[in-house]
Amino acid sequence: MKRVKTAFFCRQCGNQSVKWLGRCPSCGEWNSFVEEPVSAQAGADAAEFATRDKPRSIDSIEAGDRDRTSTGLAEMDRVLGGGIVKGSVVLIGGEPGIGKSTVLLQMMECLASRKLPVLYVSGEESASQIKLRALRIGALSADLLVLVEVSLENIMDHILSVNPTVAVIDSIQTICSADLPSPPGSVGQVRESSEKLILMAKRKGIPLFLVGHVTKEGAIAGPKILEHMVDTVLYFEGDSGHAFRIIRAVKNRFGPTNEIGVFQMSERGLEEVTNPSSLFLSERPIDASGSVVIASMEGTRPLLVELQALVCPSNFGAPRRTCIGVDHNRVSLLAAVLEKVLGLRLASQDIFVNVAGGVRLDEPAADLGIVAAIMSSYWDQPVEGGTVVCGEVGLAGEVRAIGQRDERVKEAARLGFNKAVLPPPSRSEKPSTGSQGTLSVRSLSDLSQVLFQGNQRARQRGSRGSIDKTLDK
Ligand code: TYD
Ligand code: MG
């Protein structure tokens, strides 16, 4: 009997090695190598789909941007950069139960209702389960074809014979190629199946959507290794405790990254949220200390979100810094800056920071909002109702310029905010029109003057270096 050739793969990043390693040299993960069979087949398949293209001048090539097909869901089109590009491969990752199958079925219904044939391949659910979901969200067009199959070879045959406008594979972890003896979901199978599917998509010009599961531990071969291979990577964010679902483009060869689409899970599937800012602010407590509204740029769209901080005396030796939706290290850094520059006694205080609505902020422009929320909670002094705050904070307590200042101010004005606290415009930016309500701050002491000048205690330590000994006694 012929011996099966094996190799060791990292479960985290898919790195291949001839021998077992304790630590992956590529991603640094410990104890992540598993032994799996390898196929000698892949090279032969690549030859089958070879394009036999010749070198040619770039000005003779057509851009093909007209080949974009609208999905029918405006939020989905936005994250894809304007619609589905012919022959592109999109990977949708997200935790189980977040709504990947639902949003894809809805998207396919929108296409099928325009008489465009679409193929939904499921390896996870039975046809009747899919029908139940389809009944719930009203996806019942005749051009929506459903295939329940896990064999890669059969799936590829069906895709080629149907030649759909879009094909969805739900999920890539359930697909299994006969060329490899390893089970579905293993690193080898995921890589092999996606390689072949991607080659087919490019060669035949059929757009593909691949669903990929991620677990918190990254135990199965997750979409991480696929991210390099596909054109677009979308991540589904949001937790099951909230109705909001955000689809974020983390990689896009055909459009801007970090663009987000906002949805709300309802009884009848996912509904698009066309005005996310007002939704995120709808439950905001007015005149509560520790609550600040910031204008964050998500891709090309400004988004107003509420940021909350709670500062309270620490009972144990080491104060806690707990953050949801913002980077923990960033909050520790900003707390240290506040301590040094404004003399806030934060070393003896626990700090909790939360972004309302389950949104995640990773823009430095959120710094000033975090700082303002901490100051507000520490001094127990609310920030005035119609105020938005944004800017980056440096280690010396200086407030640094941010991009797209005008867009943020406009969005804030549109939602009825009459005061925007921002860094001064950078020299290249011309002062914006209609900026009556904008207040420029250059440092954290400026910020404390602008936001908390009515506070007696804040005023006492408004100038740099004056430590609040009186308060803490
Ligand atoms: P699903 O799309 O199956 O998640 P995934 O494919 O990412 O694993 O979504 C399942 C969840 O969505 C489930 O918890 C039920 C909920 N849901 C609704 O609330 N309303 C609906 O109309 C549908 C179809 C699902
Ligand atoms: Mg699913």
Q: Is residue 199 part of a domain?
A: yes
Pocket lining: 291 vs ligand 1, CB cutoff 6 Å: no
Pocket lining: 123 vs ligand 1, CB cutoff 6 Å: no
What is the pLDDT at residue 169? 94
Q: Is residue 50 part of a domain?
A: no
Both tokens assigned to 66: 């007209």
Both tokens assigned to 234: 């979308």
Q: Is residue 406 part of a domain?
A: yes
> What's the CA-to-centroid distance between 270 and ligand 1, angstroms?
9
Residues 154 and 32 in one domain: no
Pocket lining: 265 vs ligand 1, CB cutoff 6 Å: yes
* Beta-bridge partner residues of 29: none
Q: Which residues of the chain have pLDDT under 50?
A: 218-220, 454, 459, 462-473
Minimum-distance ligand 1 atom for the alpha carbon of 94:
7
- Asked which of 252, 274, 296 is the last residue of a domain, the reply is 274
Name the residue of 214, 215, 265 whose CB sits within 8 Å of the most ligand 1 atoms, as the mutation to test its pocket: 265
How many Å apart are CA 85 and CA 51, to the nearest integer? 19
What is the pLDDT at residue 40? 58
Residues 270 and 290 in one domain: no
Task: Give the CA count within 13 Å in the CB-facing half-sphere of 464.
Answer: 10
How many Å apart are CA 28 and CA 54, to the nearest integer? 40
What is the pLDDT at residue 457? 56
- Report phi then psi at 97, rounded to 5: 85, 5
Residues 235 and 320 in one domain: no
Q: Which CATH number goes with the domain that contains 218?
A: 3.40.50.300
Which of 32, 7, 5, 12 minimizes the C-alpha distance to 21? 32
Minimum-distance ligand 1 atom for the alpha carbon of 98:
7
Q: Is residue 285 part of a domain?
A: yes
* Domain total in the chain: 3
Residues 93 and 231 in one domain: yes
Q: Which CATH number goes with the domain that contains 283?
A: 3.30.230.10
Query: Which ligand is the nearest neighbour of the Cα of 125?
Result: 2
Residues 265 and 295 in one domain: no
Pocket lining: 317 vs ligand 1, CB cutoff 6 Å: no
Q: Residue holding tokens 């080659």?
A: 199
Name the residue of 92, 100, 102 whose CB sits within 8 Å of the most ligand 1 atoms, as the mutation to test its pocket: 102
Q: Is residue 51 part of a domain?
A: no
What is the pLDDT at residue 471? 38
Task: Return the amino acid letter for 422.
Answer: L
Residues 248 and 285 in one domain: no
C-alpha dihedral sign at 332, 333, 336, 338? negative
Non-local CB neighbours of 434 within 8 Å, separated by 6+ positions: 413
Pocket lining: 100 vs ligand 1, CB cutoff 6 Å: yes
Instruction: State pLDDT tens for residues 31-86.
Output: 888 888 776 555 555 566 666 778 988 888 877 666 789 999 999 999 998 899 98
Minimum-distance ligand 1 atom for the alpha carbon of 102:
2
Residues 261 and 286 in one domain: no
Q: Residue holding tokens 């934060």?
A: 346
Residues 193 and 81 in one domain: yes
Pocket lining: 369 vs ligand 1, CB cutoff 6 Å: no
Q: Is residue 261 part of a domain?
A: yes
Pocket lining: 168 vs ligand 1, CB cutoff 6 Å: no
How many Å apart are CA 233 and CA 171, to the nearest integer? 14
Residue 5 neighbours by CB distance under 10 Å:
9
- Asked which of 274, 299, 334 is the last residue of a domain, the reply is 274
Which residue's alpha carbon is nearest to atom 12 within ligand 1? Answer: 99
Residues 290 and 411 in one domain: yes
Domain that holds residue 154: 69-274
Residues 249 and 362 in one domain: no
Pocket lining: 415 vs ligand 1, CB cutoff 6 Å: no
Residues 340 and 252 in one domain: no
Q: Please give the torsion angle defined by the CA atoms of residues 448, 453, 456 and 460, in that order, rounded to the nearest 10 degrees.
A: 50
How many Å apart are CA 423 and CA 445, to the nearest integer? 13
What is the pLDDT at residue 39? 65
Q: Is residue 56 part of a domain?
A: no
Which residue's alpha carbon is nearest to atom 23 within ligand 1? Answer: 269
The answer to whether the CB of 137 falls within 8 A of the CB of 102 is yes
Residues 269 and 298 in one domain: no
- Asked which of 242, 274, 306 is the last residue of a domain, the reply is 274
Q: Is residue 61 part of a domain?
A: no
